[in-house]
Amino acid sequence: MHPLAYDHLQKVLTDKKLVGSDDTCDYYPCHFTGQDCTWCFCPFYPCGDVQTGGEWVKVKAGGLIWGCSNCFWIHTPEVAKDLMNEFIKLGICDVEELERRKEELKEIFLILKERYPPKQEK
What is the predicted pLDDT for the residue at 1?
Answer: 86
Q: Is the pLDDT of residue 90 over 50?
A: yes
Contacts with 91 (C-beta within 8 Å, 6 or more apart), sequence order: 97
Instruction: Please give the Cα distance from 99 to 7 (Å, whole number).
Output: 14
Smallest CA-to-CA distance from 46 within 63, 24, 29 is with 63
- The beta strands (E) that lie in the chain are given as 55-58, 64-67
**Can you say whether the dihedral through the CA atoms of 29, 35, 40, 42 is positive or negative?**
negative
Q: What residue segments make up the domains of the chain, in order of their start?
A: 3-43+72-115
pLDDT (tens digit, 9 = 90+) per residue, 4-43? 999 999 999 999 999 999 889 888 888 888 899 999 999 9
Predicted structure pTM score: 0.89
More confident residue, 120 or 73: 73
What is the predicted pLDDT for the residue at 120?
Answer: 59
